[in-house]
Structure formats: C-alpha cells, structure tokens
Amino acid sequence: MIPSSPHPADAPESSTPTGRAQGATRPILRGVFELGRTVVYALLIAGGLRTLLVQPFTIPSSSMEPGLVTGDYILVSKFAYGWSRASLPFRLDLPGGRVGGQAPKRGDVVVFQRPYDPGQAWIKRVIGAPGDQIQVVSGLVRVNGRPLQETPIGMTFDHDAPARSVLEVEETGQDGKSRRVYAGDPGAETENTPVFTVPKGDYFVMGDNRDNSADSRFPADVGVGMLPAQNIIGKAEVILFSWRWTQGRAGGQRIFGFQADRFLRLIR
C-alpha cells in the first residue's frame, strides 16, 4: 500500500520554490542595505572632514607664482585658524567672528572669501597683521618701516606666461622664513604705495607675483582691500598634485597633463 502524501499545509516552507527564493533573497537584500549604509557613513565622514578640518582647492591664476602656479591642487587646513562663517556651510555667523584656532601670522598663505564678492575664493600671503603699517617703496615691501630682505636670484620666465621675463628673488619675511617671489617693477605705481595701516580684525595680503596680483594694494572692488579675519577659510598647507593644458604639436591640439615636479610639495 502506497502511503499517502502529506498535506501541502504540513510541508515545511523551505521545501517550496517560493520559500527557497525568499530565503535566497534575504541575504542579498541585507548585503545591499549594509553596502548602502557604509556608503552613507563614508559620505558623512568625508563631508564632516571637508567642513571642519581640510578642504581642497585648485589654483586658478598666476598671482602666487612662483610658489603656486595655475593648476596646483592644494589642501587647505581649516582648523589652523579655527572656524568662521567663511569656513562653515550656510555662512553661519559665530560669536566674535571666529571660534578656535590661532590668528594668521605674517608669511602665512591663506585662502579666503573675497570681501567684495564672497562667492569667489582667493589665495594670497599675509604681509600685515592688525596694527601694522605696510608700504611698498620702489618694489620693496616695508612692514612697520622695515623692508623685507630681498636677495636677487636672476631673471627667469613667468611659469604661466613664458614670453614674460621676471626677476626672481629670495624674500625673507619678518617671521625669518624665506620664499621665492617675482619682484615688481620698481617704477610701477603699484610698487610705490602710500602707507596702509591695518585695522583691528583685518589683514593686509599680497600675491608673490608682485606685478600680477590684485591684492590689498587695491581697493576691494578691484582687488582685496583689507581682509577681514572672518573671511579667511584656512591656511594653504600642501600641493597634492598639479595639472595643466599644453599645446600639442599637431593641429594646435591642447593636451592635458600632470606637472610631475609639483607632487606633494609643502607650501612655504
């Protein structure tokens, strides 16, 4: 006698095709969920780091040559000077304008929101702190009456404009640190200025490419004017890498390439 088959209701769920499909689907769904959660966490961490600690920028102009050139991809430290509405999202106002960190020092290279147009991020070197008197006389920068020491290196060609010859000099700031800059034309109007007194809470900034920089020597609608501390985003620390477009040989084609000698260079 052939035993009767069990009633379908008595059979285990996993023995049915539908049950096996559901059992196989659950691990896949769990894996997708875990992957999605990991990606969200990673994005939140990266966003937090970018908001609070460091932020990358690309150099768009020649004003900081020869130390920084067009196409340099740099890392800016936000925590070096603390945080302000310029370094936080949604331009949040903070008590006293800035919270945490130290004040920028003469010689620091800073990234900031241009006072006249906060939508633009510019980069310059701090020359004068609050209370300082700054003047440029025959191309020499004077801080509180004392000229910064300059040692000529020789004539060279502008990195971004090879047809332009410039005098490269070693300049030593009041911080005792030296850097190479492109000297200005001693007879130019921008190289012979009145005395600027830096107000409290502001900074006087200049580009290292002295004849090719709109900075604190110019009024805010032309250059920078005096730079409010709360407009400073952070301190430029390192060049991660650098890229540029070059002219190809055939048909004037432009070729994208990296500048191999500019990888991982500290910004002085």
Average pLDDT over every residue of 241-254:
66
Quick one: tokens of 5? 């088959």
Q: Which carries the bigger pLDDT value, residue 4 or residue 154?
A: 154
Q: Could you report the per-residue pLDDT of 75-134, keeping only the tens digit for each?
A: 999 888 987 777 776 566 665 566 767 899 999 999 999 999 999 999 999 999 999 999
Average pLDDT over every residue of 27-31:
63
Q: Could you report the per-residue pLDDT of 138-167, keeping only the tens digit for each?
A: 999 999 999 999 999 999 999 888 889 999
What is residue 95's three-state secondary structure? Answer: coil
C-alpha dihedral, 188 to 191 to 196 to 201, nearest 10°: 120
pLDDT in the model for residue 44: 40
The strand ranges marked E within the chain are: 54-58, 72-77, 83-84, 98-99, 109-113, 121-128, 133-137, 140-143, 146-147, 149-157, 165-172, 178-182, 196-197, 202-206, 227-228, 232-247, 254-258, 265-266
DSSP states of 131-191 as a string? T-EEEEETTEEEETTEEPEEEEEEEEE-SS-TT-EEEEEEEE-TTS-EEEEEPPPTTSGGG
Neighbour tally for 130: CB within 10 Å: 15
For residue 228, the cross-strand partners are: 202
Give 52's pLDDT tier (boundaries 50, 70, 90): low
pLDDT at 64 over 50: yes
pLDDT in the model for residue 176: 87
CA distance 14 to 109: 67
Mean pLDDT of the chain: 82
Q: Which carries the bigger pLDDT value, residue 198 or residue 24?
A: 198
Highest averaged pLDDT of the listed ranges 163-167, 201-205, 242-246:
201-205
Q: How far is CA 118 from CA 115, 173, 199, 210, in A?
A: 6, 29, 20, 23
Tally helices (H) and strands (E) across the chain. 1, 18
Q: Which residues are catalytic?
A: 63, 124
pLDDT at 2 over 50: no
pLDDT in the model for residue 160: 84
- 66 cis-preceded (ω within 30 degrees of 0): yes
Proportion of the chain above pLDDT 90, given as a percent? 56
Give 216's pLDDT tier (boundaries 50, 70, 90): very high
Average pLDDT over every residue of 165-188:
92
Give 23's pLDDT tier (boundaries 50, 70, 90): low
